Structure 1
Amino acid sequence: MTQQPAIVSIVIPCYNHGQYLQEALDSIDYNKINYSVEIIIVDDGSSDHETLQKLESLKQLNYTVIHQTNGGPGKARNTGINVAVGKYILPLDADNKIDPNYINKAIPLLEKNQADIVYAAPNFFGDTSIKKRQFKVRPFDDLGLVTGNCADGCAIYRKEVWTKNGGYDEAMPYYGFEDWEFWINASKNNFIFHFINEKLFFYRIIGDSMIAQFDNNERNVLIHRYLAKKHSDFFLEKLVKITYIRERYFYDLLRFPITPIVYLLYWLGILENTTLRAKKKYAHYEVNKKIA
């Protein structure tokens, strides 16, 4: 779809979402994007006639369409990224859309080596009455990754991140959490995250979508347990730091009534806050771990 070598490869997994796919493609406006892109659509074993018909018509328009048996979003992304030629990767779900400025704002940060992974906030549309599906995206914090995800999968990152991570985990107990595991892996591999605090992609809320089934608390616990077991060293290290911060916090509370003064000094930068203190306290451990 592009005359020049692609800088950004947009990989679109599609499973029975043919009715939305054209909207996703239309949001990739070549006239507004300052960089060359390629689009790779991965059919993840769709059975819906409308989707199969749409994919066939896109092949006729010279879009790259790859078919595979159903393996979930992680496998579909791996399939697409494996053949991608772009220096940077942008996964885009078939039912979502992007603002062209997302790419325009992310690439300069990546090109200047200010980040390896750039992500932004979502603009929700569709069935927005389902409030519990409107997740929060927050600035990157390695400690926070042990309690929950910080970013959606619709991020722009170096292909090197995917390579060093070993791709997306295709063995997750349930679909829909591949991004969280991918970011944990990226953090372990010391890649730099950058959050653009703007709404630069559109996240469609569908009542009967795949992710809707993951509101089950038991499944969330099983996923958390799976990640903690797979990345046990990472979880242990971060939880030790969190425990230290919590102890410092409660110690400060016990010093009331001087606590407000202490927190004022934190805010003014005169005292070091507990998070920074914890990171410095355990910095030598991280250095020794790398040497070992």
Structure 2
Amino acid sequence: MSEKVIFSIIIPCYNQSHFLEDVLNSILDQEYENFEVLIINDGSTDNTKEIATGYSKKDPHVKLFNQKNQGLSAARNTGLKNASGKFIVFLDADDWLERDFFETYSNAITLFPEFDLYRCGYSYWSADRQKKYHTHLPTKDGLIYPNVVTQNIGACHSILIRKSLADQLGEFDTTLKSCEDWDYWIRAGKVGAKIKSIPQDLVGYRYITDSMSRNAKVMYFALSEVTQRAVRMDRRIATETDSNIDLNWNIAPLVKIHFIKCLGVLLHQGKIEEAFIWYQEEKTKWLWRFELRDFVDFNSQLTFRYFLQPEQIQQLSKEVIPNVKVFFTKLDYSEKEQEKLIRLIFEPQIKKYNHLKYGRFLGACLNKIRF
């Protein structure tokens, strides 16, 4: 790869000093030199500044920018303004890059220079990086629009964006409290960006194995807002393209999927009455009709999709399934319907439990009978 190509790794950090050394070492330990690391200390009150300063003094790749707390999007925008690289990665302080990240991406850019976006595989890990929950490997290449309107294109730090494309998209939206990366990639789709997929696991993602700290309604508002923007012309984009137009799409079914996922967060938190009232409000507002299978999305990446360890399955059985049953009772679903709903929603966990309890062969037979 040409020496002119530089990777800019933008790391916003707010009170995550306990992860900062880990993420920085994952970058600096790689056998590659042509990169820069921009740490954006977003008004941290812990020792983020001290740790980042130490790294910046001993390694010229690392640059530190301190600012008052303004949020994730504002921190990324600061990084964009100061990045000198030809390609950019947005890496959160609690995630990391695998050892062959730079080499693999360098080879991909050399072999496929016509792309402005590149993405790799990623894995969900426990907070201590001792347990891997799930790996996702992308395979599709080409235009990301219009599919990006209905789903994100990957974990933010698994995506490499050419700086010249980023310059066309505008900044991350500081009014969004969630989904700001999806909003950003939708804009990339609307300017006609194509993506190259690398089906290799090159980045790690710390998966929070409970949803107790999530604000369901904030997430839902952001998801709904981004969905509604996605089908309208986006005036933040500086370039005129055939894709940046108003779409004649019915977004109600898309918003309903987001709603079910966020409703699942409330039930995971035990907020049954709040979930019931919210369900009635949004159902009336959007004139939704619900089928039993719609509720499968209670089991999402926001809640317990990757809860597949024995102790986690036991916790779901003891604490969450009863909440879900009470919720459906309040909605006047019959016992038979509730049994079917539990099988639908918790199918991955039930199947895993049967494998663990009865062995691979008998568990598979039982699952075949039940599902």
Q: Give TM-score, length-normalised by structure 1.
A: 0.68
Task: Tell me if the contact between 2:149 and 2:231 (Cα under 8 Å) persists in the aligned partners.
Answer: no
5+ residue gaps in structure 2? 233-243, 254-371
Cα deviation, 1:263-286, whole Å, max 9, x if unaligned, reads xxxxxxxxxxxxxxxxxxxxxxxx
Aligned partners of 2:248, 2:56: CA distance in 1, in Å?
47
Task: Tell me if the contact between 1:146 and 1:238 (Cα under 8 Å) persists in the aligned partners.
Answer: no
Shift of 1:95: 1.1
Task: Tell me if the contact between 1:146 and 1:239 (Cα under 8 Å) persists in the aligned partners.
Answer: no
| 2:155 corresponds to 1:152 | yes
Tell me the SS of whatever aligns to 2:247: helix
Tell me the SS of whatever aligns to 2:192: coil
Query: Residue type matched to 1:43 in 2?
Result: N
Cα deviation, 1:67-123, whole Å, max 9, x if unaligned, reads 111122221111012111111111211111112322222234334423111111212
Distance 1:81 1:219, change over 3 A: same
> Which of 27, 50, 55 matches 1:53?
50
Distance 1:20 1:128, change over 3 A: closer
| 2:145 corresponds to 1:142 | yes
Distance 1:110 1:238, change over 3 A: farther
Aligned partners of 1:5, 1:44: CA distance in 2, in Å?
30
| 2:167 corresponds to 1:166 | no
Write out aligned runs for 1:122-271 (5 A).
122-127=122-127, 138=138, 139=140, 141-154=144-157, 155-172=159-176, 174-175=177-178, 177-206=179-208, 213-214=214-215, 216=216, 218-233=217-232, 237=247, 239=249
**Corresponding residue for residue 80 of structure 2:** 81
Distance 1:55 1:105, change over 3 A: closer
Distance 1:5 1:142, change over 3 A: closer
Cα deviation, 1:4-30, whole Å, max 9, x if unaligned, reads 766111111111111111111111145
Question: RMSD of the TM alignment (CA)?
Answer: 3.3
Aligned partners of 2:146, 2:70: CA distance in 1, in Å?
31
Cα deviation, 1:218-276, whole Å, max 9, x if unaligned, reads 33432233113333336953848xx9xxxxxxxxxxxxxxxxxxxxxxxxxxxxxxxxx
Task: Tell me if the contact between 2:135 and 2:201 (Cα under 8 Å) persists in the aligned partners.
Answer: no
Q: What is the aligned residue count? A: 230
Aligned partners of 1:193, 1:51: CA distance in 2, in Å?
34
Tell me the SS of whatever aligns to 1:82: helix
Shift of 1:208: 7.8
Aligned partners of 1:224, 1:106: CA distance in 2, in Å?
30
Write out aligned runs for 1:2-17 (5 A).
7-17=6-16
Aligned partners of 2:109, 2:8: CA distance in 1, in Å?
14
Shift of 1:56: 3.3
**Corresponding residue for residue 262 of structure 2:** none
Write out aligned runs for 1:107-118 (5 A).
107-111=106-110, 112-118=112-118
Aligned partners of 1:135, 1:93: CA distance in 2, in Å?
18
Structure with bigger gyration radius: 2
Task: Tell me if the contact between 1:119 and 1:151 (Cα under 8 Å) persists in the aligned partners.
Answer: yes
Shift of 1:190: 0.8
Tell me the SS of whatever aligns to 2:156: coil
**Corresponding residue for residue 103 of structure 1:** 102
Cα deviation, 1:114-166, whole Å, max 9, x if unaligned, reads 3111111212222499x9x9696754653432222121111211111211001
Task: Tell me if the contact between 2:11 and 2:40 (Cα under 8 Å) persists in the aligned partners.
Answer: yes
Cα deviation, 1:47-70, whole Å, max 9, x if unaligned, reads 12x323323323433531101111
Distance 1:101 1:135, change over 3 A: closer
Aligned partners of 2:187, 2:137: CA distance in 1, in Å?
18
Percent identical:
25
Tell me the SS of whatever aligns to 2:214: helix
Distance 1:39 1:178, change over 3 A: same
Task: Tell me if the contact between 1:110 and 1:117 (Cα under 8 Å) persists in the aligned partners.
Answer: no
